[in-house]
Chain A
Amino acid sequence: MNHYTFNDLYVGQREEFSVTVTENMLSSFRAVTGDVNPLHTDDAFAQAYNYPQHVVYGLLTTSFLSTLTGVYLPGERCLIQSVEVKFPKPVFVGDELLVVGTVAELHESVRQLVLKVEIMRRGVRVLKGTMRLGVLEG
C-alpha cells in the first residue's frame, strides 16, 4: 500500500503491477454482479462470434484500476471521481495483464489527480482510459 500525499505527486509519475486473470475471478465477478451473459461463460457461444474462448468481463478487467489507484497511485488517500475506459482488445482467462497508471495532470485547487491508465497483455493494449481522482488530505 502506498501513502502518497498530494504534494508527493508529480506529472509523469508512474506505477504498475501485474495480475493473471483466472476462471475463479470470472466466477466471483458473476456471483457479485449476476451477469450470466454467455459470451463470458460459454466457449461455443464465444467461438460463434470468432473469439477463441469465452471473454473476460470488460468491467472485471476495469476493476484492476481500483487496485491501481487505491493501492498504488496515490494509494490509501485515493477517492475515485470518474473513470473513462475503452477496450481495444478482448481479454481471456490465463492472460497476464500489466496494469499501468501515469500522472497526467495535477489540480491543487481541488486536490484532483488525472491519471492516464492502460492495461497491457504482452505489449498489446487491452484497456486505455482516464481516471480523475481526489487525493484526501492528511
Chain B
Amino acid sequence: MTRAEVYEKLNKVFQDVFDDETITVHDETTSEDIEDWDSLEHINLVVAVENEFDVDFNMGEVNKMKNVGEMVDIILQRAEG
C-alpha cells in the first residue's frame, strides 16, 4: 500500500467520523485543525482507523502520535510487517 492509498482511505475515515465531507488530512494535520476533534472523537477516530486498515495500535502509539503523518507511518509499517 502506498502513502497516497493510505490517505485516500484515511480521508474517508475522517470524513465519516467527523461527519464532514470537506475534510482532507495530510502529514501535519493535528487535532488543532479539526474543530470537533476532542478526546472522545479521538477514541472514535482511532477505532475507525483500526477497523478500516485492520490494524491494532497499542496504547503507547496512540499516546505518542503527534500528527496524522505519524499515524500513517504506523499504518504503513503494519502493512509491510
Contact = CB atoms under 8 A, between A and B. Distances in A.
- Interface SS of B by simple majority: helix
Interface in B50-80: 50, 56-59, 61-62
Contacts, number: 35
Nearest to A81: B40
Contacts of A110: 42-43, 46-47, 59, 62
A82 B56 CA distance: 21
A8 interface: no
Contacts of B46: 107, 109-110
A111 B56 CA distance: 12
Nearest to A110: B43
A112 B43 contact: yes
A114 to B, nearest CB: 8
B1 to A, nearest CB: 20
A84 to B, nearest CB: 12
A109 B40 contact: no
Interface in A84-118: 105, 107-112, 114
Interface of B: 40, 42-44, 46-47, 50, 56-59, 61-62
24 contacts: A81-B40, A81-B43, A81-B44, A82-B44, A105-B47, A107-B46, A107-B50, A108-B56, A109-B46, A109-B50, A109-B57, A109-B58, A110-B46, A110-B47, A110-B59, A110-B62, A111-B59, A112-B43, A112-B47, A114-B47, A132-B43, A132-B44, A132-B47, A134-B43
